[in-house]
Structure 1
Amino acid sequence: MTTPATTRIPQEERTRAMRQRLMDATVELLVEKGFGGTTTTLVSERAGVSRGAQLHHFPTKNDLVVAAVGHLTAIRGSDLEAAAARLPKGKGRTEAVVQMLGDHFASPVFTAALELWVAARTDPGLHDAVGPLEQRVGRETHRLTVELLGVDETQPGARELVQATLDLVRGLGLANTLGDDAPRRRRILTEWARTLETALRPADSEGDNR
């Protein structure tokens, strides 16, 4: 009587592992070859999954990519949380937070997300999948930045400064897709961190390093 349950669980685990490999392969290929160069055949080869098995779960490229959107969203969230956990406290924290955000938006996962943004502009089905998840990522990234910097968003201009910070690191991440822009990015973010720290410091505080 227990045989079906006993055999079903390993099969579910194998299926989950296979889907994970397909998602990981899709993200890797988006980074390496872009949306146009990512094909279901290449994904199945990279993942070590048979074409038949891949087509059973994801019959079309868009089915595969839409599933990868959710997978990529989870990766971006976990990467940010992990990086945030390593940040120093006290003096130098503002710059550390800003540089961490800069590194995140210059990482391969952002490059993969960017490929999806561009493709979604002219693909209604992909747009419907990417749009809501990007909004969620944006809200979570904003929330995390506010928390890490200790920003009081009731203060005039504070929310806009956080948004400007995120727009800045996204733009620098975009520039990085055309070549390693790390030295220039770090210099820009060092200066921005100084400006940000001064602007966010309470008026009655002296030398408050967030």
Structure 2
Amino acid sequence: MGAVTAADRGPGEVPARSPKQDRSRATRQKLLEAAVSCLAEHGWAGSTVSVVAERAGVSRGAAQHHFPTREDLFTAAVEYVAEQRSTALRALPAQDRAAAVAALVGLYTGPLFRAALHLWVAASNEPQLSERVRELESRVGRETHRMAVELLGADESVPGARETIQGFLDMARGLGLANLLTDDGARRERVVAQWTAILDGALGRGGRQP
């Protein structure tokens, strides 16, 4: 049989990806995941395109085919994992507020936050990164706030609710910074419990509804 052409497909039918396209997507994903891991472990100075390509098991040429510059690779990597994180949070089942608070704090204690922090520091000294990272952080910040409002069952039409959510996220970011040096899980649990009580008082008891 011959190849299926656009005329052969029914209306609305999506063309199947070719094996070459699948390989390209797989290579891109490997590079993005390797870039985040390298950035989290080695920082900006130690995370070159060659190091990432080796970790991903692809050639430097293949890496540069997908991401022509180092800045392209690392901003895309942080954005990719942020999107994966958002997808996972949106898939969470209806839960009580304590679980939602813990899940949101968890955003700032993993490798993505560590990688993003290295990218922010590099952007403060690298003009070619600065504008990209500011724009990326703005988008990620808006999405994180939106998810927090949903997960915590907040009504931002109530005076002070928006500021309470933002204050909570700022606190969570602070816990993430502290976690870079020591994993003080016991203290963090107490802080999370206290913030759950604060949010219950400020927002009313509840959480995302089924």
1:10 to 19, 28, 35: 19
TM-superposed deviation, 1:3? 9.7
Aligned-partner SS, 1:179: coil
Aligned residue in 1 for 2:61: 52
Letter of the structure 2 residue corresponding to residue 143 of structure 1? R
> Is 1:156 matched with 2:159?
yes
55-64 or 99-108: which moved more?
55-64
Structure 1 segment 199-210 matched on structure 2, within 5 A: 199-201=202-204, 208-210=205-207
Letter of the structure 2 residue corresponding to residue 180 of structure 1? D
- 2: distance between equivalents of 1:179 and 1:28? 19
State whether residues 152 and 158 of structure 1, in contact with CA within 8 Å, keep that contact through their aligned partners in structure 2.
Answer: yes
Structure 1 segment 50-199 matched on structure 2, within 5 A: 50-82=59-91, 85-86=92-93, 88=95, 93-199=96-202
64-73 or 137-146: which moved more?
64-73
TM-superposed deviation, 1:4? 11
- 2: distance between equivalents of 1:3 and 1:11? 16
Aligned-partner SS, 1:74: helix
Aligned residue in 2 for 1:35: 44
Letter of the structure 2 residue corresponding to residue 107 of structure 1? G
TM-superposed deviation, 1:169? 0.3
Letter of the structure 2 residue corresponding to residue 131 of structure 1? R
State whether residues 44 and 119 of structure 2, in contact with CA within 8 Å, keep that contact through their aligned partners in structure 1.
Answer: yes
State whether residues 97 and 206 of structure 2, in contact with CA within 8 Å, keep that contact through their aligned partners in structure 1.
Answer: yes
- 2: distance between equivalents of 1:58 and 1:209? 44
- 2: distance between equivalents of 1:198 and 1:55? 52
State whether residues 101 and 152 of structure 2, in contact with CA within 8 Å, keep that contact through their aligned partners in structure 1.
Answer: no
- 2: distance between equivalents of 1:80 and 1:136? 16
Gaps of 5+ in 1: 202-207
Change (3 A) 1:156 1:52: closer
Aligned-partner SS, 1:36: coil
Letter of the structure 2 residue corresponding to residue 173 of structure 1? G
Letter of the structure 2 residue corresponding to residue 34 of structure 1? G
How many residues align? The count is: 197
Aligned Cα root-mean-square deviation (Å): 2.4
- Alignment TM-score, normalising by the size of structure 1: 0.84
